[in-house]
A and B are shown apart, each in its own frame.
Chain A
Amino acid sequence: MRGVKGLLWPVFLVARKDLLVEFRSREVVIGSAVFAVTLVVIFNFALNITPETVDILAPGVLWAAFSFAGVLAMSRAFVTEKDQGSLEGLLLTPVSRDSIYFGKMLALFIFMTAVEAALLPVFAVLFDFSAFSPTLVGAVLLATLGFAAVGTLFSAVAVNTRSREIMLPILFFPVVSPVIIGAVEATTGAIGAGVSAAGPGRWLQLMAVFDAVFLVLCPWLFSLIMEE
């Protein structure tokens, strides 16, 4: 019991600290939200989305916007800490690296979910679909968890490289492509007419398995990376 508390309490502290810092600086959430809206507006005009094509195009547009906005958010997860030197201070505390990883991941998950929750109704109005479908909400939560799990790790890797802005998307997108594909397919199933419920369910399962694997793998790799 003491072990679980010893792991969870620092997770809560790190996440709460990140949320407080974000509340004051508003660097991540506003930047990501503006970027996602801009992407959707550009896609809307570039692809000439009509009521006939919305079922086919909207899921792709939605997840392209969420994915790129997510990368923007995760790129800040360690950059500010590194630039301020506070990452070194954090690593000098006697808490386990797992706790630091899960704290940073939880904060990133909350930032990304907040941006998506704010934007989903906007997209729903723009593309005329229901934002409150359980399948769609499930897809958003599972995909965001996968993004946050992998993104926290690669953000920590990229921050120590010279070309960190380029390195993060190069590392991130190939690994999370199963999640993006799963999210697009599940969203198509959720908003598309005449698609059976069994289709999106399989994609949700795929994302759940991906999340479970990477929630075990990423903290372990994070611990190795953080001890040079």
Chain B
Amino acid sequence: MSPAPGTPAIEATGLHKSFGVAPVLRGLDLRVEWGRVLVVFGANGSGKTTLLRLLAAQYRPDRGRVVVGGIDRSRDPSSIRRMIGVVAHQPMLYQDLTCRENLTFFGRMRGLNDLPRRVDEALRRVGLEARRHRRARALSHGMQKRLALGVATLHDPPVLLLDEPASGLDQEALAGLRGMFSSASGGRRAVVMVTHNLERGLEWADEVAVLSGGVIAYKAEREGLDEGRFEEAYRGGLR
């Protein structure tokens, strides 16, 4: 699926989401253009993971609108799920299936053509070719994160949503992950990443945002980052 021309990759308007009586997002607005890498920072509990789950059409917003690749979440959540790849903090794998079986299962669930080639390519990309027949539970946490990365990118998604993707990855895997961002610079992909790692986040970002008080409290180009305002917004979330 290729990006719809003339539409932003992601557009969220007036997003509200509560769990019980606790509001997490309070009218959040966000826009990400094709070819951009947006890194969202925020304190613990600021709603970063909730935001990603709303963008992934996993949660339904209480109020507000999510449009990904020109598709409105309220009308067609399945098509949004078809467009996105998600790497979460926890690898979303079947521990009793092998690396190859995990990739094949998720590929079939996505209805992908030419699946054996895609699976082989994904295994090579994440450096798990030699472990293709090993069960996920026999892999280290870092290796499982690599496999999760392979699953998330098996369908070459135009939108990547990453929740602390670098945790547990070694330098080689980090370089591979960084390589996936390069297609964003070609305008073919958009990436939203949430992280606590300030150094890596700033290094990888085209744009940075701070989520605080249930809204985007600060958003700027990385090049024009106002450190004072960035810090002020971030600290606002800690109070």
Residues of A within 8 A of B (CB): 10, 13-14, 17, 20-21, 24-25, 84-86, 88-96, 227-228
1/0 per residue B53-74: CB within 8 Å of A? Answer: 0001011100000000000000
Query: Contact: A13 with B105, CB < 8 Å?
Result: yes
B60 CB contacts on chain A under 8 angstroms: 227-228
The CA of A180 and the CA of B108, in the complex, are separated in Å by 38
- Residues facing A in B60-104 (CB within 8 A) are 60, 77-79, 81-82, 84, 86, 88, 90-97, 101
The CA of A227 and the CA of B58, in the complex, are separated in Å by 6
Residues of B within 8 A of A (CB): 56, 58-60, 77-79, 81-82, 84, 86, 88, 90-97, 101, 105-106, 108-111, 135, 151
A92 CB contacts on chain B under 8 angstroms: 56, 58, 81, 84, 86, 92
The CA of A140 and the CA of B105, in the complex, are separated in Å by 32
Query: Of B79, B94, B151, which contacts A84 at CB under 8 A?
Result: B94
What are 28 A-B residue pairs whose CB atoms fall within 8 Å in the complex?
A: A10-B109, A14-B109, A20-B97, A21-B96, A21-B97, A24-B96, A84-B95, A85-B88, A85-B91, A86-B92, A86-B94, A88-B88, A88-B90, A88-B92, A89-B92, A89-B106, A91-B58, A92-B56, A92-B92, A93-B109, A93-B110, A94-B81, A94-B82, A95-B78, A227-B58, A227-B59, A228-B58, A228-B60
The CA of A95 and the CA of B81, in the complex, are separated in Å by 9
- Given A93-B81, A94-B110, 5 more pairs with CB closer than 8 A: A17-B105, A21-B96, A84-B94, A94-B82, A96-B78
The CA of A90 and the CA of B84, in the complex, are separated in Å by 13
How many whole Å from A210's CB to the nearest CB in chain B? 30
The CA of A90 and the CA of B58, in the complex, are separated in Å by 11
In the complex with contacts A10-B109, A94-B79, A227-B59, A89-B97 CB distance below 8 A: no
A91 CB contacts on chain B under 8 angstroms: 58
Least CB separation from A12: chain B residue: B108
The CA of A27 and the CA of B78, in the complex, are separated in Å by 32
A24 CB contacts on chain B under 8 angstroms: 96, 135
The CA of A228 and the CA of B86, in the complex, are separated in Å by 18
B59 CB contacts on chain A under 8 angstroms: 227-228
B56 CB contacts on chain A under 8 angstroms: 92
B135 CB contacts on chain A under 8 angstroms: 24
Most chain B Cβ neighbours within 10 Å, of A10, A17, A25, A90:
A17
The CA of A17 and the CA of B106, in the complex, are separated in Å by 10
B78 CB contacts on chain A under 8 angstroms: 94-96
Least CB separation from B76: chain A residue: A94
How many whole Å from B150's CB to the nearest CB in chain A? 12
The CA of A13 and the CA of B106, in the complex, are separated in Å by 10
A85 CB contacts on chain B under 8 angstroms: 88, 90-93
A95 CB contacts on chain B under 8 angstroms: 78, 109
A10 CB contacts on chain B under 8 angstroms: 109
A93 CB contacts on chain B under 8 angstroms: 81, 106, 109-110
Give the top 5 A-B pairs by smallest Cβ distance, nearest first. A89-B92, A85-B90, A93-B109, A94-B82, A94-B81
Most chain B Cβ neighbours within 10 Å, of A24, A94, A95, A228:
A94
How many whole Å from B215's CB to the nearest CB in chain A? 21
The CA of A21 and the CA of B136, in the complex, are separated in Å by 12
A89 CB contacts on chain B under 8 angstroms: 92-93, 106, 151
How many whole Å from A163's CB to the nearest CB in chain B? 17
The CA of A84 and the CA of B56, in the complex, are separated in Å by 19
How many whole Å from A89's CB to the nearest CB in chain B? 3
Least CB separation from A20: chain B residue: B97
B110 CB contacts on chain A under 8 angstroms: 93-94
The CA of A95 and the CA of B108, in the complex, are separated in Å by 10
Query: Contact: B97 with A17, CB < 8 Å?
Result: yes
